[in-house]
Amino acid sequence: MINTVKNTLSESGTALEGRNLLLAVSGGADSMAMLHLFAKNKCEFGYASISVIHYNHGLRNKDSDEDEEVVKRFCRKLDVPFKSHEGRLLERKKPKGLSIESWAREERYFVLENEASLKNSLIFTAHNKNDSVETVIFNLLRGSGLGGLKGIGNRGNIVRPLIDVERNEIIKYCEANDVPYRTDKSNFENQYSRNRIRNIIIPEMGIINSSVINNISRLSRNISEIDDFLFFKAEKLLQMSKVIIDEKVFFDSEILNNADKVVIKYCILSILGDENNNLSNRIIEECLAVISGKKNGIQISSSKVFLRKDKFVYLDGLNPKRNNFENNYKIVCEIGKNVLPSGRTIFVDRFDNNSSDMENMNIFEYQNSVDCDKIMGVLFFRSREKGDSFRSLRRNNTKTLKKLFNEMGVDPAVRWCYPILTDDAGVVWVLGEGVSDRVKVSKSTKDFICIKDYGENDAKRH
């Protein structure tokens, strides 16, 4: 298995020499095998350090705690630093519009990214070849474009070292090396779409051809190459058609219209920032109509529009023009999901301060947590106001928001909607800066809220 993993890393251009590795370990066979493989072969891989993080969703009560204990004991045996994070999802209100699986995944990756940022670590997850094939079938059934048929791949600093290893090979590795692992009983409950694919659809396909996993995996690789090539062609075309007018990017529709339709579609995906092909066919067709001159524009989302001006097309936001303060807003901060006028989503979670919360709090969570007893009156998300100032916990000095935004590089056109949280005494929290010094948590804190940003949308910095 080690040779397959080394080949996977080599083909993806992932160099481990001198890097810090953060392994996401659930306790299942895949992640426990990954942990053992890398812990026992440091010289083979040449990394600088290795550590483990376990996200305890708290969805299976005692079973979740036992998963954590198994990982913790194995890390101790291998002399690998271990850290756990308690999600306590059953104790929290699920955001609207998200399945429990999607919510858990978002929370897990949020924690992983924050933890990795502390040491500039690569994040290793234990997705295997079977997982990738299941994803391909799932996306095929929901009508995905080519991007969804590429399977599971690396993304940014997230690496999948076992993606070319089949699940049965991983089980054999665990048995041969006395690697303990836990089995999630919910994996056998077929009311979930992915479980039905894993437990029913793929076995049925295997009756027709026993090489179903390898064949679909090979197909997804071919699709990935085609998809990457089409994006490459689209980027070249966009560079040819790109025009900058008054610091705004436009594209010459006459140049775009001379290309093949499939390349134009990929230009649309690139312009709209949808590299995973998640846009509906209706939106793509309407964007084609804008490029061909049949339509003047189309609204892509609550905060973005694709427009035509003369022979040029461009992406624009729905923010008001600079210094238009008629659109100022003030929204009561809710525990859970808060959707701001810019389209940005801010989650606010409330916790009791116990030893576990404090021990597991990383620097990012500390800088974005507010002591509830220090809040004056009611918390609001609102537009900045003249004279607003902020004493940053990070910077340990007081600045006006105007000066702070200048230093942060916040576009003046979106400052009206740039996320800040206030109480009756002033500014409590600023996106990208964290909390005010006056509301920071301490050892004497009884209750606190943690603020998390879940979407950039149009509140962009330069």
Tokens coding 359: 């021990």
Reduced DSSP (H G I as helix, E B as strand, rest coil) percent helix, strand, coil of the chain, to 5:
45, 20, 35
Report the pLDDT value the prediction gives residue 259, as an integer from 0 to 100.
95
Options 3.40.1400.10, 3.30.70.580, 1.10.238.10, 3.50.40.10; CATH for 325-453 is: 3.50.40.10
Taking only the tens place, the pLDDT of each residue in 184-207 is: 887 888 887 889 999 999 999 999
- In order of 63, 212, 283, 402, the CA distances from 199 in angstroms are 22, 14, 35, 57
Report the pLDDT value the prediction gives residue 95, as an integer from 0 to 100.
67
Check whether 457 has a pLDDT greater than 50. Answer: no
Taking only the tens place, the pLDDT of each residue in 381-405 is: 888 888 899 998 877 788 899 899 8
> What's the CA gap between 313 and 297, in Å, rounded?
9
Beta strands in 209-365 (DSSP E): 242-245, 248-252, 297-299, 304-309, 312-317, 330-332, 336-339, 345-352
> What's the CA gap between 66 and 112, in Å, rounded?
21
Average pLDDT for 349-368: 75
Average pLDDT for 79-83: 95
Helix (H, G, I), strand (E, B) or coil at 307: strand
Helix (H, G, I), strand (E, B) or coil at 435: strand
β 420-423/380-382 pair status: antiparallel
In the structure, what pLDDT confidence band is assigned to residue 462 with cuts at 50, 70 and 90?
A: very low
User: For residue 396, which phi and psi values (nearest 5 degrees)?
Assistant: 55, 40
Taking only the tens place, the pLDDT of each residue in 311-353 is: 999 988 754 333 333 457 778 788 888 888 777 889 998 887 6
In the structure, what pLDDT confidence band is assigned to residue 304 with cuts at 50, 70 and 90?
A: confident
Check whether 456 has a pLDDT greater than 80. Answer: no
Average pLDDT for 432-450: 89
β 49-56/20-24 pair status: parallel
Q: Which of 127-131, 140-144, 153-157 has the highest mean pLDDT?
A: 127-131
Instruction: Give the CA radius of gyration of the chain.
Output: 25
Check whether 430 has a pLDDT greater than 60. Answer: yes
Check whether 461 has a pLDDT greater than 50. Answer: no
Helix (H, G, I), strand (E, B) or coil at 297: strand
Longest dimension (CA), the chain: 71
Which amino acid, 42?
K
User: For residue 368, which phi and psi values (nearest 5 degrees)?
Assistant: -120, 25
Average pLDDT for 164-181: 96
Tokens coding 313: 């097309």
Which amino acid, 21?
L
In the structure, what pLDDT confidence band is assigned to residue 209 with cuts at 50, 70 and 90?
A: very high
Instruction: List the one residue out of 127, 130, 134, 133 whose CA is nearest residue 220.
Output: 133
Average pLDDT, the chain: 86
Pick 433 or 93 by higher pLDDT: 433
Taking only the tens place, the pLDDT of each residue in 222-277 is: 999 999 999 999 999 999 999 998 888 999 999 999 999 999 999 999 998 865 55
Q: At what angle do helices 167-176 and 29-39 cross, to 10 degrees?
A: 60
Which stretch of 109-123, 298-312, 359-373, 430-444 has the lowest confidence by average pLDDT? 298-312
Q: What percent of the chain has pLDDT over 90?
A: 50
Cβ burial of 163 (10 Å; 0-12, 13-18, 19+) is buried
Instruction: List the one residue out of 59, 52, 50, 162 whose CA is nearest residue 107.
Output: 59
Dump the DSSP string for 399-421. EEHHHHHHHHTB-GGGGGGS-EE
- Sheet with 330-332, edge to edge strand ranges: 330-332, 380-382, 420-423, 426-430, 434-435
Instruction: List the one residue out of 341, 307, 338, 339 whose CA is nearest residue 324.
Output: 341
Task: Confirm if 390 and 436 have CB atoms less than 8 A apart.
Answer: yes
Tokens 């649309």: give the residue. Answer: 268
User: Which residues make Cβ contacts (< 8 Å) with residue 81, sequence separation at least 6?
Assistant: 50, 51, 52, 75
Task: Confirm if 368 and 447 have CB atoms less than 8 A apart.
Answer: no
Pick 458 or 405 by higher pLDDT: 405
Domain with residues 219-317, CATH architecture: Up-down Bundle (1.20)
Report the pLDDT value the prediction gives residue 327, as an integer from 0 to 100.
54
Long-range pairs, 302-310, Cβ under 8 A, ≥24: 302/343, 303/342, 303/343, 303/457, 303/458, 304/272, 304/457, 304/458, 306/268, 306/271, 306/272, 308/253, 309/250
Tokens 């999802």: give the residue. Answer: 89
> What's the CA gap between 287 and 293, in Å, rounded?
10
Q: What percent of the chain has pLDDT over 70?
A: 89
Report the pLDDT value the prediction gives residue 298, as an integer from 0 to 100.
80
User: For residue 237, which phi and psi values (nearest 5 degrees)?
Assistant: -65, -40
> What's the CA gap between 131 and 105, in Å, rounded?
15
Taking only the tens place, the pLDDT of each residue in 105-131 is: 788 888 899 899 989 999 999 999 999
What CATH number should be reported for the domain whose range is 2-126+161-208? 3.40.50.620
Report the pLDDT value the prediction gives residue 98, as an integer from 0 to 100.
64
In the structure, what pLDDT confidence band is assigned to residue 417 with cuts at 50, 70 and 90?
A: confident
List the domain boundaries for the chain.
Answer: 2-126+161-208, 219-317, 325-453
pTM: 0.64
Angle at the Cα of 19 from the Cα atoms of 14 and 20, rounded to 5 degrees: 120
Task: Confirm if 315 and 272 have CB atoms less than 8 A apart.
Answer: yes
Same CATH fold assignment for domains 219-317 and 325-453: no
In the structure, what pLDDT confidence band is assigned to residue 56 with cuts at 50, 70 and 90?
A: confident
Average pLDDT for 397-416: 85
> What's the CA gap between 452 and 345, in Å, rounded?
9
> What's the CA gap between 388 and 415, in Å, rounded?
13
